[in-house]
Amino acid sequence: ANTRQFANTHEHSGDTTDLINSYWRTCIIDGILVHVTIEVISDIPGSYAVGLNDAHLKGGDLYMFIYSITSRSSFDYVCECPRRVYEWKETDSLPMMIVGNHCDKDKDRQVLATESRAFANETGCGSCEVSEHDVSSLDLALADLVRSKWAFDKKRRER
């Protein structure tokens, strides 16, 4: 639901039965107009076991992996993603973020925020929690991820 809200005013390809949907997002971050293509690998509730297509991992510039704080299995699945991206990209550093969704459902929480942050730190990713009912929290997560991409690119240019 939050992905659809996030991109609700933007063009999208695919339908709700597709495993891969693309969204085009235009936003202003730190006064800069940014165009982002977001590919959602699995947009079907409860489908975290769907295999992540490695070909899609190879083409990305930045990555946001979203799990539900109310689903241990979704977090366990997301924990495999950074390693796979690093392997495919043959690097040990990329702009990535681990995002816990449903932070408003704390009573049903199966994944602690501290656990997610520890995993993110371990793998060189950013981390945050968002609520599907507050699309601005996802906007802030995207802005943080884009800023990390800018910092990553600046570091590469300085080498």
pLDDT digits (tens, 9 = 90+) for 93-119: 899 999 999 999 999 999 999 999 999
Q: Residue ranges of the domains in the chain?
A: 2-158
Torsion angle (degrees, nearest 10) of CA 124, 4, 133, 73: -50
Give the tens place of pLDDT for each residue, 16-40: 444 556 777 888 999 999 988 777 6
Q: Homologous superfamily of 2-158 in CATH?
A: P-loop containing nucleotide triphosphate hydrolases (3.40.50.300)
